Amino acid sequence: MQRTLFICKPDCVQRRLVGEVIRRFESKGLRLVALKLMTVSRALAEKHYAEHAGKPFFEGLIQFITATPVVVGVLEGNEAISVLRGLMGPTNGAAAPPGTIRGDFGLSRQNNLIHGSDSAESAAREIALWFTPTELLDYQLADEHYVSGGE
Ligand code: UDP
């Protein structure tokens, strides 16, 4: 079982697509471990996107992500990190295939609705950045065996 961080970015919240996006996570079999609606401070945004500091799109990205609220959460499941990346699709909405979140709902490279951790290291770092340990809930769902079980 893996944990991964997702963010429904400001464009996702503004366009009332949060429910649609989380429905896709649940339908796939991922389990919510944490969830909150919040406005992102500049300090948190800069830490979250530290690897992009200095790039031409960095300032615009920080402005975008701090402008209006986001919904941030943690998902758990078998191969959750790559499964979430697959559900999201590639960065640029215009190039993202239909069937993915970015492919179905947007055309922008910046306003691409959703963030998902891209590796186990990023997931651990990002979960610790956005949530306290007590906000991460440990519980099971009744259908877990059917969704993730077997070989
Ligand atoms: N981004 C952007 N312009 C670019 C590349 C990225 O505005 O040319 C933004 C976009 O919102 C993207 C985020 O920066 O989701 C982080 O970029 P990354 O390459 O990590 O893409 P992701 O992992 O989100 O697909």
- Closest residue by CA, ligand 1 atom 18: 91
Decide if 145 is catalytic: no
CA of 110 to the centre of ligand 1 (A): 6
Provide the residue-wise pLDDT of the chain in tens; the chain has 151 residues.
Answer: 999 999 999 999 999 999 999 999 999 999 999 999 999 999 999 999 999 999 999 999 999 999 999 999 999 999 999 999 999 999 999 999 999 999 999 999 999 999 999 999 999 999 999 999 999 999 999 999 999 888 7
- State yes or no: ipTM above 0.85: yes
Domain covering 2-138 assigned CATH 3.30.70.141 in the classification = yes
Whether the model clears a pTM of 0.90, i.e. scores above it, the answer is yes
Q: Which strand (E) or helix (H) includes residue 29? A: none
Q: Is the CB of 4 under 6 A from ligand 1?
A: no
Residue 120 Cα to ligand 1 middle (Å): 18
For the chain, give every domain's residue range: 2-138
The number of beta carbons lying within 10 Å of the beta carbon of residue 74 is: 24
The CA distance from 47 to 2, in Å, is 23
Q: Kindly state if the Cβ of 3 falls inside 6 Å of ligand 1.
A: no
